[in-house]
Structure 1
Amino acid sequence: MTSKSDTPPSYEEALHHPKFDQSPGQPPYGAPLPSPPSYSPSPGMFPSQPGYWGHGGAYPQSSMYPGPGFSPAGIAIPTLSAGLHASNPGDMEDLISSQWDSTSIRHAFIRKVYFILTIQLAVTFSVISVFTFVDSVKMFVISYPVIYWTSYVVFLLVYCILICCKEPRRRFPLNLVLLGIFTVAFSYMAGTISSYYETKAVFLAMGITATVCVAVTVFCFQTKVDFTSCGGFLCIAAVLLMIIGIVTAVVLSFQYVPWLHMLYAAIGAIVYTLFLVYNTQLLIGNRELAISPEEYIYGALSLYVDIVNIFLFILQISGAATE
């Protein structure tokens, strides 16, 4: 509530009682009034608080409060448009439009990556099927291991080139050709390894790999857990896997601890499954890290390497189990 002494005088009282003109700090009658106080939640801001009329004796102008239900002139109205003023409704439309365009670009990028990945996997598993079912081809690749090592060298060289040269647009045809060479070399390697196992073990490994890949993809599209922040952990896991592989190769060459081979294959399958989760979330976006929509060849390459390595490690486990 407001005390009587705090209320402003009426117009008639101001005319007939000059004593109001003699109040300290008040300008003489007829002089222009100072501008109204700025909008800030300070004491004395509103008429119901003491001290509002005591700021220099200034009276509020009639244009400051046009009438009931109207906001004070010159005061910005708070809105819920994430910092956008009500006077600029087009900014909110531009923001929504940009977000929609970004989402559509990301979806087109994902479709392109999985299209390339489908072609790569179709080529690889076709080669594996030929090397598994055709006995003459199986005996050829087993008899000439030098072709396997040649394909391994080509695989490493092309892989390093594709990783180091991440998809400039001017190099797009070259990257696509290199990706085709990489796919053929890796397919030959996978087919050569599959030729040493029974047909039942190969089909079992294919089925388990397909199940794991579908489950991982569905999980990555549904979960809110961010695995893109675990890159350091995955690098450590990859180094440990390499060390375990070297130790396993040395131990198995002396015919010690035969079950160590299956343990190494199980660890490798788990590590590359985690890599598949990581690379899939990089592909999806909306995480701490994401792949640029222009790097669809790199995205398809990373997923392809993860899936084929999961197949090879599971093949070692299923092959040892069938034997």
Structure 2
Amino acid sequence: MDLEVSEPIDFSSGDHQHLVQKAADDNIQSKSARSYGTSSSTHGPQQTHGNPHSKAGEQGDTYVVEISAETTTEDSNPLSGPFSEAAIRRAFIVKVFFLLSVQLLITGAIISLFLFWKALRVWVVKNPWFTYALLPAFFVVFIILACCGKLCRQVPANYILLGLFTILQGLLLGTVSVFCNAEEVLWATAATALVTISLTLFALQTKCDFTLLSGMLFVLLFVLIIYGILLIFIRSYWLHLLYAGLGTVIFSLYLVMDVQLMVGGRHHHSNLHPEEYVFAALNIYMDIINLFLFILQLIGLGR
């Protein structure tokens, strides 16, 4: 008996079981028929010569099964993965926005101290070593958060590192605000809040997938860094204005992309894990802070 299966078989769904059972039943029936034919031939005249099925009876049954490539549930279900359930994604988004709100409140409170406390402003201006001492500590904590993925998933280490990073970032922004007018900082804060809310709503509603621009945005960020280094040695109003405008555009796109990465769903790239809510909050927080700095620079150049 020859059994040939031309259609693909999904072994994960159990479609092969009825084929195996059918093959076993046909095998039993064929053996019964052969045994019946043998017993009848012992009582009657032997007519085995010229029988076209005599050689086929001596050979074992041949089964030809064509099996397609292995199909799994993850391939058939595009929503499978760590965010397969909507409740998991919803809890992840709530955690990210909660941490982000706390970070922004802490940062705003620290900046307000440097902005409205005159004695502190004078002390920072007279002691520049304070700013230089904050920089290495800030970059060390930032590198740990960005590179140590396992540590960012461990509680409470991830919260401690994120809180320390937020405080250091707030202190650095406070030292920057000392050299700016209070009105400029307030206008920059209001503009940043308006832009952030607008871009977040745009990222949640638009059908455009900005996660595909990750490579291009990285190249633009690298160009922006080199451009900023050159401006240290070049004193030009228009070049500084162009630099501030380019930085505002780049980090606006980064904000939209990071929000879509957090939301996931239909977007092409969404490699975040449910336990990486600290990393997601850190990305959006840095986008907002950089956006604030470039808007502050635009306002300062405009005045």
TM-score, length-normalised on structure 1?
Answer: 0.66
CA deviations 1:162-207 (Å, max 9, x no partner) are 1111245773322221111111111111111111111110111001
Partner of 1:236: 219
Unaligned runs of 5+ in 1: 1-37, 41-90
* Aligned-pair CA distance for 1:240: 0.6
CA deviations 1:75-115 (Å, max 9, x no partner) are xxxxxxxxxxxxxxxx9xxx8x9899611110110010010
Inter-partner Cα distance in structure 2 for 1:161 and 1:217? 27
Opposite residue 305 of structure 1, the aligned amino acid is: M
Aligned match for 1:133, one of 80, 105, 116? 116
Aligned match for 2:268, one of 282, 288, 294? 288
Partner of 1:260: 239
Partner of 1:215: 198
Q: Does 1:143 align with 2:126?
A: yes
Inter-partner Cα distance in structure 2 for 1:150 and 1:262? 29
Q: Which moved more, 1:166-175 or 1:241-250?
A: 166-175
Which has the larger helix fraction?
Answer: 2
Q: State how 1:32-71 maps to structure 2 within 5 Å.
A: none
Q: Is the 8 A contact 1:167 1:295 kept in 2?
A: no
Aligned match for 2:183, one of 178, 197, 200? 200
Opposite residue 157 of structure 2, the aligned amino acid is: L
Opposite residue 297 of structure 1, the aligned amino acid is: V
Q: Which moved more, 1:174-183 or 1:216-225?
A: 174-183
* Aligned-pair CA distance for 1:268: 1.1
Inter-partner Cα distance in structure 2 for 1:153 and 1:214? 32
* Aligned-pair CA distance for 1:259: 2.9
Q: Does 1:300 align with 2:276?
A: no
Q: Is the 8 A contact 2:110 2:170 kept in 1?
A: yes
TM-score, length-normalised on structure 2?
Answer: 0.70
Opposite residue 260 of structure 2, the aligned amino acid is: Q
Inter-partner Cα distance in structure 1 for 2:94 and 2:86? 12
Inter-partner Cα distance in structure 2 for 1:263 and 1:167? 39
Inter-partner Cα distance in structure 2 for 1:205 and 1:127? 16
C-alpha distance 170-316 of structure 1, shift in aligned 2 (>3 A): closer
Partner of 1:276: 255
Q: Is the 8 A contact 1:228 1:288 kept in 2?
A: yes
Partner of 2:50: none
Inter-partner Cα distance in structure 1 for 2:170 and 2:248? 18
* Aligned-pair CA distance for 1:260: 2.1
Partner of 2:94: 111
Higher relative contact order (CA 8 A, sep 6+): 2
CA deviations 1:105-132 (Å, max 9, x no partner) are 1011001001001010001111111111
Inter-partner Cα distance in structure 2 for 1:193 and 1:106? 37
* Aligned-pair CA distance for 1:321: 2.1
C-alpha distance 160-98 of structure 1, shift in aligned 2 (>3 A): closer
Other structure's SS at 1:251 match:
coil
Partner of 2:167: 184
Unaligned runs of 5+ in 2: 8-72
Larger radius of gyration: 1
Opposite residue 287 of structure 2, the aligned amino acid is: D
Q: Is the 8 A contact 1:167 1:294 kept in 2?
A: no
CA deviations 1:251-305 (Å, max 9, x no partner) are 13xxxx2332222111111111111111111100021111221100000101111
- Measured on the aligned residues, the alpha-carbon RMSD in Å equals 2.7
C-alpha distance 238-170 of structure 1, shift in aligned 2 (>3 A): closer
CA deviations 1:193-248 (Å, max 9, x no partner) are 11111111011100110011001110111011111111110111011100110111
Q: Is the 8 A contact 1:167 1:175 kept in 2?
A: no
C-alpha distance 170-196 of structure 1, shift in aligned 2 (>3 A): closer
